[in-house]
Structure 1
């Protein structure tokens, strides 16, 4: 007799977990929409950047061949310590450019990346000018640009699965 009772408990627990996941996704989507409300997806700022290694690339042009992940973070951002490993993982297979916002000198940012063993193409935005052009209001922020338009935009914590799905979905957008 305890078997049906036990399975009923598990079913109730699974329903509660599913409800919380759906609620989290709705709230997260609403927050992202609110934070990105002034962002014009077609008004992508110029994306020709020189990274810490001195390489200059036009990331906007590259977005016409495949989606590009643009990741805004900071060495002083506690939430970034959870998201940056995911971005680093994605960078092994997909085009990713990261922008370190107001994180100090090139040497300091390069040292931080080396210390964390991150293999990221990074632009150092010491004065926050790139962040202002992109209207970044929170770190971390991830934008995915495809065919010259922002097709996905999220702030705060994102999971590896969430970022992978956003990037995958972006390949069909634009």
Structure 2
């Protein structure tokens, strides 16, 4: 009995742990900074991307998702990364590629590491809170209006899939 009481006190009543919000400031591909704190109160879908990846066609889906929900408050943030050796050599090349091939106007960061010791603090925070680490390009992290990670998806889940749109719509309603 004492052991059960001790464990209950140790982990907190009911076993719930208050997670802290994930935050982060990224260098923008357009210059300046992108702060997730500026978007607090809105859902944000953060996606690590790569221009030379077989999943790069998902840029179309990311833009369509952004177009569909942006007026309701959704932010979609593309985070180009060369962690899987499939990104172009410079942020300027990435920006030109995305504008020419996908007509993107959603927010994008500079080329950023998303895993390992060099991972951006946002991704380190996501890993600490959820144990989620991008396993490939076009992994998705949905952050709720309160700054908490709502859900994560791998590369095979398309941006406009029901799994993603249902979660976004629930956050927007």
Partner residue, 2:46: 70
* Larger Rg over CA atoms: 1
Q: Does the 8 A contact of 2:90 with 2:111 survive in 1?
A: no
Residue 73 (structure 2) pairs with residue 91 (structure 1): no
Partner residue, 1:137: 135
Higher relative contact order (CA 8 A, sep 6+): 2
TM-score (norm 1): 0.64
Show structure 2 runs of 5+ residues with no match.
Answer: 1-17, 127-132
Which has the larger share of strand? 1
TM-score (norm 2): 0.64
- CA gap of 1:74–1:42, structure 2 versus 1, over 3 A, is farther
Q: Which whole-Å CA distance do the structure 2 matches of 1:67 and 1:47 have between them?
A: 14
Instruction: Judge which range, 143-152 or 111-120, deviates more.
Output: 111-120
Q: Which whole-Å CA distance do the structure 1 matches of 2:106 and 2:43 have between them?
A: 16
Aligned residue pairs: how many?
131
- Alpha-carbon deviation of 1:165? 1.7
Q: Does the 8 A contact of 2:22 with 2:147 survive in 1?
A: no
